[in-house]
Chain A
Amino acid sequence: MGQSESHDPNLYYVPHGSRWPIVASLALFTTMLGAALSLNHSAGGGVLLVLGVLALVGMLFGWFGDVIRESIHGFYNRQVDISFRMGMIWFIFSEVMFFAAFFGALFYARMFSVPWLGGDGDGVLTHEYLWQGYSAAWPTNGPLKVGGAFETIGAWGLPFLNTLLLLSSGVTVTIAHHALRAGARGRLLVYLGATVLLGAAFLYFQATEYYYAYHELGLTLGSGIYGSTFFMLTGFHGLHVTLGTVMLIVIWARCAKGHFSRDQHFGFEAVAWYWHFVDVVWLGLFLFVYIL
């Protein structure tokens, strides 16, 4: 075995050893330890956290760099390509389930815990003896008015603008994909660049909205269950948009360097899938967090 060419389609491909997995584990360890220590106000926690995150970023560049080099050298066969695709699809599925937990919390609060606190159904006695005078409503920060009075962000201002931005970014990334397949490099760069800009604009407006919420509306992460679900859902989504935008920038740079061929460009497709996923999550947010 191992005598013939590794990119022979009839041969299994097995990559050689790599230092990145152990580097990645150490980096993750440093990050998590640093985070735990700094939350406990222990000395050195912050430093570890920063070092860990930097190491993680460096690791990603190193690891993906290796993969890209190997791919360009043609080591990967069709089977490897399919494994990568499956990996990305199932990774996105796991992300969907992560968001599902927070959507679940939102639905549970709105359909069960808040009405119960207001005396609905099985909550009659709780209401009578613990939280008398609380009437269920949404938005709410609970019977103790945790975080003080607040107002919410209307759906049809910035959030609607952001919906339009993200939806159009889904279109531009698709046009870019078609351009790549047609070999139209110029069009590819323009539309991919437009996607990056739309993502960045989304993030800018999201940040503006947060600023406004904190400084004008009194709406914070600590504004009871409304603030908790609002900021955790939109915050994790924003984090994913940030990640997606960075990925798009990397892909743009790779396209500019002439990477990817008309029929082999899994890196591009993976990022596009991720971007569509972020898009779909936003539609859920827009509907359930802002409109309803």
Chain B
Amino acid sequence: MAHDASAHRDEHGHDHKPHGFVNRWLYATNHKDIGTMYLVMALVMFFVGGLMAMVIRGELMYPGLQLVEPEFFNQMTTMHALVMIFGAVMPAFVGLANWMVPMMIGAPDMALPRMNNWSFWIMPFAFTVLLLPLALKVFFGIGAGGPAGGWTLYPPLSLQGGDSVAFTIFAVHMMGISSIMGAINIIATILNMRAPGMDLLKMPVFVWAWLITAFLLIAVMPVLAGAVTMLLTDKFFGTTFFSASGGGDPVMFQHIFWFFGHPEVYIMILPAFGVVSEIIPTFARKPLFGYKAMVYAIASIAFLSFIVWAHHMFTVGIPLGGELFFMYATMLIAVPTGIKVFNWVFTMWRGSMTFETPMLFALGFVIMFTIGGFSGLMLAIVPADFQYHDTYFVVAHFHYVLVTGAVFSIMAATYYWLPKWSGRMYNETLGKWHFWLSTVFVNLLFFPQHFLGLAGMPRRIPDYNVAFADWNLVSSIGGFGFGLSQLIFAYIVWDCVRNQSLAKAADRVWEGARGLEWTLPSPAPYHSFATPPVIEDRMLAHADVAH
């Protein structure tokens, strides 16, 4: 292609949107278009994964087996987690990074726009590969369905999964390639594309959070790739990495997996910290309390996340010294995490607060993420974890940090920046309904799971002792309510993008908002900045800290 004339024309015409579907979306290089594609895909996957959750809660509504076969139930728990983690939460944050990072640092686009497009387009294909065995089974009755050994893919169980194993492993490889390229792009953008005057310590916290998250991604996604490659060769090529008969060890997989897995959970929460650190100052109309401490806290959480992995394996039989080391290291994470929570609270202290939908979700985040952090601390205590491990208490823990944490922050970010993206205000009344319904139902859904877990209900089972019946019914009702409430969200977004009669958004959508993105018109122009913008400190939220 690129014979000189056409290349030149494109080179000069990049303020115009490319014409036609193929040029705009398939050959995309624009960070906003690619960000939109990521976000749309994440929303679709959120509902696909949500549907699986509904099947899980449907089966668990009453003791006994009524809705699905146990084998299918296990496929649902496995696929629900894989779809939500790799298909919904991670792509949603990458989509937010794509949209916002260039605007926040005064860049025209991502550093490597074509690779950006490749990172995105791998994802729909990766999920085709992942979902194929399950879809064939559900829609056509072909084969045995998807993987059922849990998202953690522990051998030997995961290797007994029949035809779906190879599909799952190759899908994970594709997601890994996509994540690594996406992360490289974000790092290059932040380190290389900042406008003059945007010093590192003047960057928005969201940008900082993503810089560190991207580093985590590049460091651990290849390790996951290595782990699943060993699974593949163990199953198909006769290696014995995870088989004691040949001198290997199934527990070795758990070590490699969680060396990836624990940083992975921080990959899903650090950008959320960034989002909340943007929103709270805006609606408290005060600068963020302790900006530098916030940045250093993120960095130390990232560092610690590499040395705590075995807290997922306390009961598997590791030497006592190991148990102690990983217990104390894990508890250490509570310190920087606590710093963040306190700083959000101090930011609000004596602020002139208003409670628009983004702020509601951010506040919900602070309170409910902290609940998840506390249950995490309980789990970090080795002797206690011997009781809690593999019970619903763990399920409650990670859903507080991931749903009311990561997912709530994604909702908050969407409401916060949607007017900037579409140029129109979303329906605030419906937004508040969405928040309150979600919050009530999500607590109905997950809080009782703490009780169930402490009482001894194991996770990943389709049937249970009648003693657990009441709280499971409550939890299921909460689950259906939460699931249905998300339809409101989909409607609000659709409405805000399509409905011409909605009020036009101001450039500075929220009166208390600071940062370069608010100096651009709403909707933001196709290419944010053509030349490096002249940055004055008063435009920035954190300009004074660096001096």
Point out residues on A near B: beta carbons under 8 Å.
1-3, 6, 10-22, 24-26, 28-29, 32-33, 35-36, 39-40, 42, 63, 66, 69-70, 73, 75, 79, 82-84, 86-87, 90-91, 93-95, 97-102, 104-105, 108-109, 112-114, 116-117, 121-122, 126, 130-131, 140-144, 146-147, 220-222, 224-229, 231-232
Contact = CB atoms under 8 A, between A and B. Distances in A.
B180 to A, nearest CB: 5
B256 A101 contact: yes
Contacts of A33: 129, 170
Contacts of A69: 2, 7
Interface stretch (B42-50, B112-120, B474-482): B112-120
A225 B84 CA distance: 35
A152 to B, nearest CB: 14
Interface stretch (B26-34, B355-363, B513-521): B26-34
Contacts of B319: 121-122
A14 B527 CA distance: 9
29 contacts: A1-B527, A10-B531, A12-B193, A14-B109, A16-B11, A17-B28, A20-B118, A21-B117, A22-B27, A22-B121, A29-B125, A32-B171, A36-B129, A36-B169, A42-B163, A75-B11, A86-B188, A87-B115, A97-B219, A99-B226, A104-B259, A109-B247, A141-B240, A146-B243, A221-B233, A222-B240, A227-B239, A228-B246, A231-B239
A108 B313 CA distance: 16
B317 interface: yes
A126 B249 CA distance: 12
B138 interface: no
A42 B122 CA distance: 23
Contact of B222 (A22, A94, A117, A224): A94
A74 B239 CA distance: 50
A121 B2 CA distance: 65
Given A221-B237, A225-B248, A28 B112 contact: no
Given A6-B11, A32-B170, A39-B236, A100 B223 contact: yes
Nearest to A32: B170
A102 B226 CA distance: 7
* Max chain A C-beta neighbours (<10 A), residue from B15, B183, B187, B244: B244
A142 B109 contact: no
A52 to B, nearest CB: 11
B230 interface: yes
A29 B128 contact: yes
Q: Which 3 A-B pairs have the closest CB atoms?
A: A101-B226, A1-B530, A16-B10
B76 interface: no
B107 interface: yes
Interface string B492-522: 0000000000000000000000000000000
Contact of B220 (A22, A97, A102, A229): A97
A148 to B, nearest CB: 11
A142 B184 contact: no
The binding surface of chain B is classed by DSSP as helix
Nearest to A41: B163
A132 B15 CA distance: 74
Contacts of A3: 12
Contacts of B411: none
Contacts of A66: 1-2
Given A12-B108, A25-B118, A121-B319, A130 B244 contact: yes
Contacts of B251: 113
B200 interface: no
Interface of B: 1-2, 4, 7, 10-15, 18, 23, 26-29, 107-109, 111-115, 117-118, 121-122, 125, 128-129, 163, 166-167, 169-171, 173-174, 177, 180, 183-185, 187-189, 191-193, 218-223, 225-227, 229-230, 232-233, 236-241, 243-249, 251-252, 255-256, 259, 317-319, 527, 529-532
Nearest to A116: B249
Nearest to B217: A94
Contacts of B129: 29, 32-33, 36
Given A11-B530, A22-B121, A146-B240, A83 B11 contact: no
A149 B125 CA distance: 44
Contacts of A126: 244
B222 A142 contact: no
A12 B2 CA distance: 20
Contacts of A1: 14-15, 527, 530-531
The binding surface of chain A is classed by DSSP as helix
A32 B319 CA distance: 39
Contact of A94 (B163, B180, B238): B180
A87 B218 CA distance: 11
A88 to B, nearest CB: 9
Contact of A36 (B14, B170, B233, B255): B170
B239 A94 contact: no
A117 B245 CA distance: 9
A91 B170 contact: no
Contacts of B317: 122
Contacts of A109: 241, 247-249, 252
A43 B242 CA distance: 30
A114 B243 CA distance: 11
Contacts of A19: 1, 26-27
A144 B245 contact: yes
Contacts of B109: 12, 14
Contact of B240 (A26, A42, A94, A224): A224
Contact of B245 (A17, A39, A146): A146
A22 to B, nearest CB: 5
A190 to B, nearest CB: 33
A113 B247 contact: yes
Contacts of B15: 1-2
B188 A224 contact: no
A5 B114 CA distance: 21
Contacts of A42: 163
Contacts of A2: 12-15, 527, 530
B439 to A, nearest CB: 38
A239 B183 CA distance: 24
Contacts of A122: 317-319
B391 to A, nearest CB: 24
A260 to B, nearest CB: 20
Nearest to A228: B239
B192 A83 contact: yes
